[in-house]
Amino acid sequence: MSTRFTIAKLGSQGDGIAETETGEVFIPFALPGEVVTAAREKDRATLMSVLEASPLRVDPPCRHFGACGGCAVQHLETEAYQQWKREKVVHALRSKGIACDVGALVPCAPHTRRRVVFTARRSEAGMQFGFVRALSSEIISIEECPISAPQIVAALDRLKALAGLICTTTKSFHMAVTVTGSGLDVAVHDSGKLGENQRRVASNFVIAEGLARLSVDGEIIIEPKKPVVLFGGVAVAVPPGAFLQATEAAEQTMANIVGQHLARAKKVADLFAGCGSFALRLAARSEVHAVEGDAAALAALDRAFRFASGLKRVTSERRDLFRRPLTFKELNAFDGVVFDPPRAGAEDQSKQIARSDVPLVAAVSCNPVTLARDLRILLDGGYALKSVTPIDQFLWSPHVEAVALLEKPRRRR
């Protein structure tokens, strides 16, 4: 049975929110000001029809929008969409009592997502390959994807065929596909144990189709061409399934902001350094100490530095910064710090930075809520917040990146 709703606002996940006598109801793909009919189940409802459309509603560019769970707001006009994303950062800061002029959102162009994770499963009808419907386990087969890099979209049929070759399970599994300078890097997880014949067949397929590498659960099955990405002109041979920023443009924007802020720093600590997207760029004019918990990522960073030329010294340290953050005494050896943690943020590390004398800090985050929490810690420790720049690299999704820059006067000794 469908019910009539009036949408009051857009929620943090991109759902339209209707206010009713029994509480808020979340309706995906509805926009503020619209009158809709929807089938309600507790506090969620499935959109049935739009009776009165918002003037901000536009035609979504993808035929799969509304079924595929990858995008939440393709139907929202561009300026309103960008303002909604910026407001997510503003709201998170405000919730922690942080007053700061948040910059305009740095936009994300379509067809630029360089790393995409697909879901696959073998069924009686054949191989299913695509994205999972929101709040469901149903796999939606896709024929286009306007957020993804053209190299990935052009390979959809080949990737589906490869999924069929390596699948030895009846369960769903994941295939992460990354665009590199050497071709597509394919990292598969939970597809089952490969037999020798499957390895041979999959390897022949990878070679024939010009893919750079195939790995399964971290094991390299075949690597015809070592996958390489560039960080500020430094070539890095990334390990299987390595974390990379979602788009090259967003990565470069973040690196520029961080680099300008830390330009005066002679020694910089790069915390949660990954494969070196910040460290190897910063090393053009600063000594850098890169700290990362993932051994393969850190090894790739170190190897790239050793084969590069024209960089200042880069040292590396494997360390779990969640369990053992750099202490304020260790941090005092540096003139600048950049940290880019996972979505959980860096609460304990921020407490140590707050106690330190480091004059320049750049905080990078993909989660405005944990960023606001960590910034509150730094502000309470005597830092001044100079700027916050929201950056969109997860187009039409609820996710937004941000870079915050802070300063603290050096204590007189």
Supply φ then ψ for residue 284, to 5 degrees.
Answer: -65, -25
User: Please, are residues 227 and 176 in contact by the beta-carbon 8 Å criterion?
Assistant: no
CA distance 167 to 190: 9
Catalytic-labelled residue, pool 62, 71, 145, 366? 366
What 3-state DSSP class applies to 222? strand
| Residue with the two structure tokens 């603290």 | 408
CA distance 53 to 36: 8
Q: Report CA 239 to chain centroid distance, whole Å.
A: 17
CA distance 119 to 163: 9
Known catalytic residue at 366 = yes
Q: Which long-range contacts (CB under 8 A, 24 or more apart) does 402-405 make?
A: 402/89, 402/364, 402/365, 402/368, 402/371, 403/254, 403/257, 403/258, 403/362, 403/363, 403/364, 404/362, 404/363, 404/364, 404/365, 404/371, 404/375, 405/257, 405/261, 405/360, 405/361, 405/362, 405/363
Which residues are tagged catalytic? 366
